[in-house]
Chain A
Amino acid sequence: MQQGTGNPPSSATAPGLRRVAIDPLSRVEGHGKVTLLLDEEDRVRQARLHIVEFRGFEKFVQGRPYWEVPVMVQRLCGICPVSHQLAAAKALDTVVGAQALTPTAEKIRRLMHYGQILQSHALHFFHLASPDLLFGFEADAARRNIAGLAIAHPDIARQGVLLRRFGQEVIHATAGKRIHGTGAIPGGVNKSLSDAERAPLLADIYQIIGWSLGAVELARQLFEKHLDFYRDFGRCAAHTLMLVRADGAMDLYHGGLRACRSDGTTLFDHLDYSEYWEQIAEEVKPWSYMKFPFLKALGDEHGWYRVGPLTRVTQCDFIPTPLADRERRAFLAFDDGRIATSTLGFHWARMIEMLHAAETIKELLHDEDILGSELLVRGERRERGVGVIEAPRGTLIHHYRVDENDQVIRANLIVATTHNNQAMNETIRAVAEQHLSGRRLTEGLLNHIEVAIRAFDPCLSCATHALGQMPLAVELVDCTGATLGNLVRDCAA
């Protein structure tokens, strides 16, 4: 299968399309905008999703002492601060010469990370995704939320909230507090767990595994019920990128980079990420703050790729926990493997990862190393460090240069939502092709675009969240640049 190339790199160079200038958008959280551009025959030629970008933060950390960075970068995102903390700490491990952490430090960081995976995936599935899936995409938007879920399926809603809280408690125990935690620092961690902190987590973890298994089963049932629709919804072939352990296993904390072409063949494997720029480049486009990363070997037009749960579950060789690996194999076998390349397959894959996170937390809680006291290592000081982690939404890269005065002089961050930028645009275009009726925007199309975007779980929360923010807007533009229509999804009240 060839990767879709329907979204040209720039409308400015595409014949029959007019370039549409987009004013700089507010970076207020929750502000998303989609522009659909029609060609002369009213076919959807391009889809553009405009969301927040992080260049400002890369400037923000310049001039700061490197040891402040793991705390500062948590302010990037209200949803996955732990991922930014850990990616920054991993990058700065190299700067302080910590080539290998102590067993206690590595396991505490892993515990923190899998707590983050669990809480983030639970929030997404139960709060944002399952209402769509359980009530249907055409259901009243006011009903498609966790309150609606609590009315119709109270046990599922309650489990979702408690799964989320358990993940937060793991983070609290390992990072010291829920926000601005200082658990991971360059060279290791600044605290381990006490018996008193471990006991309540151990008491609950078996229930958490049970609920996670139930969530995987719920995802499977939804696919069985709506198979024809789910299989083809927003389907587009994509190259993939992820971290993988040395033996090919899923490892969300550390590994080498694996990239596969859309036909499943390997482009590179077990690549040392410390020189990621040899394989991954970032393109800037005039209509978006957001960078467009691509695999250099495949070129800027065709080299876009997809990261995140669907990539990780389908492209790893196995998952190193028994229940999650059993569910991975069932997922890959379902419908002769076709769901494994379906956009909505993200949801099922995400629940398999949540189960893996729960199983991993259980293993770590039983490991006496998490109670240890050897927390830090140091070695030969270096100027540059790269840290890569598989965050809930996908591969997260932090890259810093530090001068002789310990100040950060350069930073580059590539977050999962940026990796998925073009993949989301392609998916939205595919959905619009399937569901756009003539030249008129409809509520049904808006609902379907929402569902397509949500499958990726893009981070729209990395800026602010002040009351009064703007919602999702969809704009339809014809080949002359004329706006044919706008639809806005406001608060569902």
Chain B
Amino acid sequence: MTAPPDHAVAPVLVFATGNESRGDDGLGPALARRAALEGRAGLTLILDYQLQVEHALELRGRRLALFIDAGKDTPAPFELRRASPSPRFLHTTHALAPEAVLETAQRLGIALPEVWVMCVRGEQFELGEGLSATALRHLAAAEAALHTLLARRGAPD
């Protein structure tokens, strides 16, 4: 199986993960939509419920990668931090932390880009439609920071 050549992939990769039927768990996809990342030139947006091992392959050839997710008990309104590989694997779940995706990629011989994690704090994760009022406020704050980050890191506008 062959991967596309590095020059064929967009330089910026954004993972927005979450389940929009689980209340504030949908913050990641909601932020990607609000920031109009879909279809943006030079940027690949991957929406998924959770991070999996094959997502490591998507990092190949990127210059910048950003993981956006909802956070539970994380600082409000959001946390933005650099991420590096770490074998932070949970033993009772199929899903991976961003650091574990990076670790997997590194072990597969993929050169890692500059990586950031944006974790937007959620409050309720039960079944239901829409984001909580608090999450909506966090979302607005996170959107501004997201645009700033992409602009400063030279993402195509």
Tell whether A and B belong to one assembly. yes
- Interchain CB contact under 8 A, B71 and A468: yes
Q: Chain A contacts of B89 at CB under 8 A?
A: 142, 145-147, 491-492
Contact between A472 and B107 (Cβ–Cβ < 8 Å)?
A: no
Residues in chain A near residue B50, CB distance under 8 A = 29, 78, 461, 465
A144 to B92, CA, bound (A): 12
Least CB distance, A490 to chain B, in whole angstroms: 8
Residues of A within 8 A of B100 (CB): 145, 147
User: In the complex, how many angstroms separate the beta carbon of B138 from the nearest chain A beta carbon?
Assistant: 13
Q: A75-B21, A127-B53, A165-B57 are in contact. Are A147 and B91 (CB under 8 A)?
A: no
Give 1 or 0 for each of B95-116: 1 = CB within 8 Å of chain A CB.
1010010011011100000000
Question: By the criterion CB–CB under 8 Å, are B104 and A56 in contact?
Answer: no
Interface residues of B in 11-49 (CB under 8 A from A): 17-25, 47-49
- Asked if B107 and A147 sit within 8 Å, CB to CB, the answer is yes
Cα A453 to Cα B93 in complex, Å, equals 11
Closest Cβ–Cβ distance, residue A29 to chain B (whole Å): 6
Scoring B57, B74, B90, B103 by chain A CB atoms within 10 A of each residue's CB, the highest score goes to B90
Cβ A178 vs Cβ B127 within 8 A: no
Report the separation of the CA atoms of residues A81 and B19 in the bound assembly, to the nearest whole angstrom: 11
Task: Give A178 to B54 CA distance when docked, in angstroms.
Answer: 13
A146 near B17: Cβ-Cβ < 8 Å: no
A461 touches B94 (CB 8 A): yes
Residues of A within 8 A of B47 (CB): 179
Asked if A461 contacts B104 (CB within 8 A), the reply is: no
A127-B108 contact in complex given A81-B49, A464-B25, C-beta closer than 8 Å: no
- In this complex, what residue of A is CB-closest to B122? A466
A57 lies within 8 A of chain B by Cβ: yes
Rounded to whole Å, the gap between the CB of B72 and the closest CB of chain A is 4
Does A158 lie within 8 Å of B108, measured CB to CB? yes
Q: Could you tell me which residues of chain B, from 58 to 83, have a CB within 8 Å of some CB in chain A?
A: 69-74
The residues of A that contact B25 with a CB separation of less than 8 Å are 464-466
Interface window among A149-157, A218-226, A327-335, A353-361: A149-157
Say if the beta carbon of A198 comes within 8 Å of chain B: no
Contact between A28 and B20, CB atoms less than 8 A apart: no
Q: Which of B20, B24, B53, B106 has the most CB of A within 10 A?
A: B53
What are the residues of chain B within 8 A of A128 when measuring CB–CB?
94
A161 to B60, CA, bound (A): 14
Report whether A468 and B73 are in contact in the complex, using a CB–CB cutoff of 8 Å: yes
Number of contacts between A and B (CB, 8 Å)?
166
Residues of B close to A59: CB separation below 8 A: 127
B24 to A, closest residue via Cβ: A466
Which residue in B23, B49, B72 is a CB contact (below 8 Å) of A467? Answer: B72
- A151→B54 contact, CB < 8 A: no
A147 touches B93 (CB 8 A): no
How far, in Å, is B149 (CB) from chain A's closest CB?
A: 18
CB <8 Å contact, A179 and B1: no
CA distance A294 to B89 in the complex (A): 35
Q: Is A387 an interface residue (CB 8 A)?
A: no
Q: For window 130-179 of chain A, which residues contact chain B by CB distance below 8 Å?
A: 141-142, 144-148, 150-151, 154, 157-158, 160-162, 164-166, 168, 178-179
CA distance A477 to B50 in the complex (A): 34
Q: Is the beta-carbon distance between B49 and A460 smaller than 8 angstroms?
A: no
- By beta carbon, the residue of chain B nearest A54 is B127
Which A-chain residue is minimally distant from B93 (CB atoms)?
Answer: A30
B2 to A: closest C-beta gap in Å: 9
CB atoms of A56 and B86 under 8 A apart: no
- Contact between chains at B1 and A30 (CB < 8 Å): no
Measured CA separation A127–B128 after assembly (Å): 31
Across-interface contacts of A436 in B (CB, < 8 A): none
Nearest to A51 among chain B residues (CB) is B92
Cβ contacts under 8 Å, A142 to chain B: 87, 89
Give complex CA distance A220, B100 in Å. 29
> Any chain B CB within 8 A of the CB of A231?
no
Docked pose: A123 CA to B94 CA in angstroms = 8
Indicate whether A254 reaches chain B with its CB closer than 8 angstroms.
Answer: no
Q: List 26 A-B contacts (CB under 8 A).
A: A28-B125, A30-B95, A59-B127, A75-B22, A75-B49, A78-B49, A79-B94, A142-B89, A144-B91, A146-B107, A147-B89, A150-B104, A161-B54, A164-B52, A179-B47, A179-B49, A463-B125, A465-B50, A466-B25, A466-B71, A467-B69, A467-B119, A468-B72, A469-B72, A469-B90, A492-B90
Which residues of B are in contact with A by a Cβ distance under 8 Å?
Answer: 1, 17-25, 47-50, 52-54, 56-57, 69-74, 86-95, 97, 100, 103-104, 106-108, 119, 122, 125-128
Can you add 15 more A-B contacts, CB < 8 Å, to A147-B89, A465-B93, A467-B72?
A27-B125, A28-B72, A78-B48, A78-B50, A126-B53, A145-B89, A147-B106, A150-B104, A162-B57, A164-B52, A464-B23, A466-B25, A467-B119, A471-B90, A492-B89
